[in-house]
Structure 1
Amino acid sequence: MANEAKPCPCDIGDRMDYGGLGQEVQIEHIKAYLVKPSTESDKAVIVIQDIYGWQLPNTRYMADMLAANGYIAVCPDFFDGKEPWSSSHDWSKFQEWLEEKKPTNITKEVDVVLRFLKEQCRANHIGAVGFCWGGIATHYLALQYPEVKAAVSVYGIIREKEDSYELKSPTLFIFGEKDVIIPLDQVSALEAKLKEKCTVDYQVKIFPGQTHGFVHRKREDINPTDKPSIQLARTDMLNWLSKYM
């Protein structure tokens, strides 16, 4: 089981602020970044990494932000020690790299994290938020884990599968209008299929002018033009979690 982390002092006065508030822990066979809010909470969010791995500051900052809003936040290493992608890698090898890191093959890790949150953190309400690779994984959790009470899939690449639309958890999907990785026709198809098949609450939201990765951009990388959309997307994420958790 993981080492217990002490509650972290968070600046609740600025609930959109973040930065280095948690600590690394061991949860059974996987490592994780864990952040606890300044007051006791029985609400927890699993924060799921993008292709750059669980140690990416951008993703950890999102965990910090969630903790500042009263959630226990845990960002596990869903690659289970395997090397994350790096911008210095050869993109022609990307599919080969991805083959052993499918975001739908994480059942063992998810079960470990859920057990930790329930037994060690006493979490009674659990949600999931994921970015890119983690957005796909979050979509998967919303399909497979009814105990996940709310899900936010942020620019998760859409796969055309008939079993991808009957969600068990209320899910918010966030996309950027200018995302070259996820064309808008795919987003439209997702929304149409959800309307046809989904029986729980969902929302598909497209942010004008935004590119892949905009929601978990580091504060120093945010330009004034994008800042309103980034803040609105983060507010939407927090509101969705609050509504269902």
Structure 2
Amino acid sequence: MAESGTQCCENPPVLYSSCGVGHVEEIGGLKCYVSASFNSNLAVILISDVFGYEAPKLRKLADKVAEAGYYVVVPDFFHGDPINPEIKDRPLYIWIKDHGTDKGFEEVKPIVESLKHKGMNKIGAVGCCWGAKVVALLAQSVEYIQAGVFLHPSFVTEDDIKGVKVPLAILGAEIDHMTPLQLVNKFDNILKSKPEVDSFVKIFNGVSHGWTVRYNDDDAVAVKAADEAHQDMLAWFKKYIK
């Protein structure tokens, strides 16, 4: 049975997605969009922003990563309840009470274990906005992931960065109210003080928070910047998830 619109059906357990070339199945107890390179034993967990795992451009990015040779998993950490800007009486600060990043971190652990059981030799993780905080927590241990990438992070603290133990790339926006340029620079300085942890920090000029998965298709500059960030992310994984 195919999905209808942007809603995912409950049965059967594996569904072909209406957005993207992959399918939806349960992994580690969560519904996930899966886009996989044939016979890959290298996995990437792609963690969404607050708009959830069904976002078309997020799934398009998952497909791009899969084409590069990875088994890509995009979990539904919000259990079918991503933030909806049209619900005016439920702003982010209220929505986040039910969808904390600490909960996301606990829910991603069974997914990591499931990927290992599937025979994945190495696992990378990339987080957009909300998802970057979950990646920051995963990056505290090489037992979870072997490399991480932030795309326009949110909720990440300096203490999170101090605890990072795996190679980390941070791709930030020049115009970002969630993680301002000054904070990204602090992250960069902390990482530079940790020579045992390789890092790559880059600021994209002229773009704003969310640009890598919420760019305007008619804006050539935005599309180019998003693609550049995607290529930087892939280069990082090709360096460490191989």
Bin of the TM-score, shorter chain as denominator length: 0.7 to 0.9
Change (3 A) 1:231 1:82: closer
Change (3 A) 1:123 1:98: same
Structure 1 unaligned runs (5+)? 7-18
Separation in 2, partners of 1:91, 1:232: 37
After TM superposition, the structure 1 = structure 2 runs for residues 18-33 of structure 1, keeping only pairs within 5 Å, are 20-33=20-33
Separation in 2, partners of 1:102, 1:199: 30
Counterpart in 1 of 2:223?
Answer: 227
Q: CA RMSD in A?
A: 2.5
Indicate the structure with greater strand content: 2
One of 123, 141, 145 as aligned partner of 2:138:
141
Separation in 2, partners of 1:222, 1:45: 29
Per-residue CA deviations over 1:104-145 (Å, capped at 9, x if unaligned) read 33343222111221213x211110011111122112211245
Residue 167 of structure 1 contacts residue 199 of structure 1 at CA under 8 Å; is this kept in 2?
no
Separation in 1, partners of 2:36, 2:15: 7
Counterpart in 1 of 2:121?
Answer: 124
Per-residue CA deviations over 1:33-57 (Å, capped at 9, x if unaligned) read 11111x3111010010110111111
Separation in 2, partners of 1:160, 1:198: 20
- Give the secondary-structure state (helix, strand or coil) at the position aligned to 2:50: coil
Counterpart in 1 of 2:64?
Answer: 65
Separation in 2, partners of 1:144, 1:102: 20
Counterpart in 2 of 1:108?
Answer: 106
- Give the secondary-structure state (helix, strand or coil) at the position aligned to 1:209: strand
Residue 29 of structure 2 contacts residue 111 of structure 2 at CA under 8 Å; is this kept in 1?
no
Separation in 2, partners of 1:167, 1:64: 28
Counterpart in 2 of 1:44?
Answer: 43
Separation in 2, partners of 1:198, 1:162: 17
Counterpart in 1 of 2:91?
Answer: 93
Separation in 2, partners of 1:26, 1:144: 25
Structure 2 unaligned runs (5+)? 1-11
Separation in 2, partners of 1:217, 1:107: 24
Compute the TM-score of the two structures, normalised by the length of structure 1. Answer: 0.84
Per-residue deviation, 1:147 = 3.7
Residue 5 of structure 1 contacts residue 36 of structure 1 at CA under 8 Å; is this kept in 2?
no
Counterpart in 2 of 1:216?
Answer: 213
Change (3 A) 1:186 1:116: same
Residue 138 of structure 1 contacts residue 152 of structure 1 at CA under 8 Å; is this kept in 2?
yes
Compute the TM-score of the two structures, normalised by the length of structure 2. Answer: 0.85
After TM superposition, the structure 1 = structure 2 runs for residues 156-171 of structure 1, keeping only pairs within 5 Å, are 156-171=153-168
Separation in 2, partners of 1:90, 1:110: 29
Residue 165 of structure 1 contacts residue 193 of structure 1 at CA under 8 Å; is this kept in 2?
yes
Counterpart in 2 of 1:237?
Answer: 233
Identity %: 32
What number of residue pairs does the alignment pair up?
229
